[in-house]
Chains A and B, each alone.
Chain A
């Protein structure tokens, strides 16, 4: 079954008003179960809007959108989505473990199940020691790992990530990318990932969607086949080739806009 099926979706903000903006036009996109798809494009191309459409945070003004064969709203009610944003968005008043446990709490897990799963998640993101700390006591990279652990805690079928490593320095960022891939391979979830970094998109994804702005449309789709990501992958010929290809696509997009 397809994880995400977007058919001819439009998104217009403030429709009919003077400040009307068409953010997306005629989007067709299929994401298969278990895929890692990245959305890339210049700012204002609607990549975050598309992610929010898929996550039912906003509703398309036209078109049809299905997630696991049902409406996006139903998928949200069924808690199929795990979300992570550029800001970790942790709750200051909850300790790290309690932040990870929040979705479990809302979903009515028992206390013992919650603490077992939280411990598991802390281990997964390598923060075993930090469950009892407050978020502000952690570095940016560690906070982002907590946010990812929280997004994964209830084993959502679809992970939606909006530039989750955008605020991190280069070293932390590469480390987090490897961590995310390890988790992705372990859990076999489906991921839709928004980024504006070409190398990040290539390194992480099985498919990269290049969007063009005003209004946001799909410009091209580039398949990436890097096989198992090891340290050398970033220097491989395939990595270089796909990076160049996406750079060319983005340049074409910029020139057209």
Chain B
């Protein structure tokens, strides 16, 4: 892609974003909307600046840099564990047909269960003082898309390609290395791209239900309960930045691993 066409691809969303923010600012000012209902973007930016490295003490509950960092740790730790676990279990279950047939329906049912329902229970299991409970929620959320997609990639190989490998008298190990794993790689990176922003969502939702307070989740709820909506929005901006950053990393990995290929639709 040339720098010119890259520019052509970038300017519409940037222009739209600026118009959107300007419109927001204008509407709040013109209609005199109360800041506790909808703060102006400029107020949010101001809150972002004052609260970024704020001193936490009486009357001050927000240190966005620390909260973002701590929530980021929960999200990334959960993401990594969930990805490793999902991929590992995909390998094991696809290796043994019986295991696959008995485990996959269970995984699908579990996947349809809203994790929000799990958060309080995880708090009871793993305690609310540490991060284990929150990380646990992230792991569960990340696990399923990775597991289901990697398993699909390992199994859904062109029959002709397997026949070909058989005609070369290739061992199951060779077929795994030469066919199944490379075939599953784009499925894996697609799942990673889905799971990366999910991990941030899961971390924050889990934090709403308990755990240490110097996190984005509690920062949002507490500021909201003190009607400091500018601070709450600033925390949301940080959360969104975190999600975007992880998404960008996942996208970069996807591009690097699958040169020139179109991404595969995830299930």
Of the residues B158, B185, B260, contact of A87 by C-beta under 8 Å: B158
CB distance from A78 to the nearest CB of B (A): 8
Interface pair B161/A79, CB less than 8 Å apart? no
Known: A91-B179, A134-B260. A106 touches B158 (CB 8 A): no
Distance in angstroms from B178 CB to nearest chain A CB is 7
Residues of B within 8 A of A103 (CB): 168
A-chain residues with CB within 8 Å of residue B260 when the two chains form the complex: 134
- In chain B, residues 135-192, which have Cβ atoms closer than 8 Å to a Cβ of chain A? 158, 160-161, 163-164, 166-170, 174, 178-179, 182-183, 185
Q: Please tell me the size bucket of the interface on A.
A: 20 to 34
The reply to whether A85 and B160 form a contact with Cβ atoms under 8 Å apart is yes
Q: What residue of chain A has the Cβ atom nearest to residue B181's Cβ?
A: A93
> Which of B158, B167, B170 lies in contact with A57, CB distance below 8 A?
B167
Q: A57-B163, A85-B160, A136-B261 are in contact. Are A91 and B182 (CB under 8 A)?
A: yes
Within 8 Å CB of A81, what residues of B?
167
A235 nearest CB across to chain B (Å): 35
**Residues of B close to A91: CB separation below 8 A:** 161, 178-179, 182
* Contact call A76/B167, Cβ cutoff below 8 A: yes
Distance of A102 Cα from B175 Cα, bound (Å)? 12
In the complex, the chain B residue whose C-beta lies closest to that of A93 is B182
A134 to B163, CA, bound (A): 22
Which B203-228 residues sit within 8 Å CB-CB of chain A? none
Contacts of A85 in B (CB 8 A): 160, 163-164
Min CB distance A200 to B, Å, is 20
- Cβ A107 vs Cβ B168 within 8 A: yes
The minimal Cβ–Cβ distance linking A192 to chain B, given in whole angstroms, is 13
Q: A55 to B183, alpha carbons, bound, how many Å?
A: 25
> Chain B at the A interface: mostly helix, strand, loop or mixed?
helix
Q: Which of A58-93 contact B (CB under 8 A)?
A: 76-77, 79, 81-83, 85, 87, 89, 91-93
The minimal Cβ–Cβ distance linking B202 to chain A, given in whole angstroms, is 31
A83-B261 in contact (CB<8A): no
| Residue in A56, A79, A91, A93 whose Cβ sees the most chain B Cβ within 10 Å | A93
- Please determine whether B185 and A93 come into contact, CB atoms closer than 8 angstroms: yes
Residue of B nearest to A52 (CB): B163
Kindly supply a per-residue 1/0 record for chain B positions 52-91, scoring 1 wherever the CB is within 8 Å of any chain A CB and 0 otherwise.
0000000000000000000000000000000000000000
Which residues of chain B come closer than 8 Å to A55, judged between CB atoms?
163, 167
If A76-B166, A103-B168, A106-B174 touch, whether A89 touches B261 (CB-CB below 8 Å) is: no
Determine whether the beta carbon of A89 is less than 8 Å from that of B167.
no
Q: Provide the residues of chain B in CB contact with A134, threshold 8 Å.
A: 260
Within 8 A of B (CB), among A39-66: 52, 55-57
Known: A89-B158, A89-B161. A102 touches B178 (CB 8 A): yes
The answer on a CB contact under 8 Å between B169 and A76 is yes
| Residues of the B chain whose Cβ atoms lie less than 8 Å from the Cβ of A93 | 182-183, 185, 258
Most central of B160, B166, B170, B185 by chain A CB within 10 Å:
B160
Q: How far is the CB of B95 from chain A (nearest CB, A)?
A: 21
CA distance A39 to B245 in the complex (A): 58
Contacts of B163 in A (CB 8 A): 52, 55, 57, 83, 85
Q: Please give me the residue from chain A that is nearest to B262 by CB atom.
A: A136
B contact set with A: CB distance below 8 Å: 158, 160-161, 163-164, 166-170, 174, 178-179, 182-183, 185, 258, 260-261
User: Could you tell me which A residues sit within 8 Å of B by CB distance?
Assistant: 52, 55-57, 76-77, 79, 81-83, 85, 87, 89, 91-93, 102-103, 106-107, 134, 136, 160
Pull 19 A–B residue pairs with CB atoms less than 8 Å apart, ordered by A. Answer: A52-B163, A55-B163, A56-B167, A57-B163, A81-B167, A82-B167, A83-B163, A85-B160, A85-B163, A85-B164, A87-B160, A89-B158, A89-B160, A93-B185, A102-B168, A106-B168, A106-B174, A107-B168, A160-B167
Ranked 6 nearest A-B pairs via Cβ? A89-B160, A93-B182, A85-B160, A83-B167, A81-B167, A77-B169
Interface contacts beyond A85-B163, A87-B160: sample of 9 additional A-B pairs, CB < 8 Å, sorted by A: A57-B167, A79-B169, A81-B167, A85-B160, A89-B158, A91-B178, A93-B182, A102-B178, A106-B170
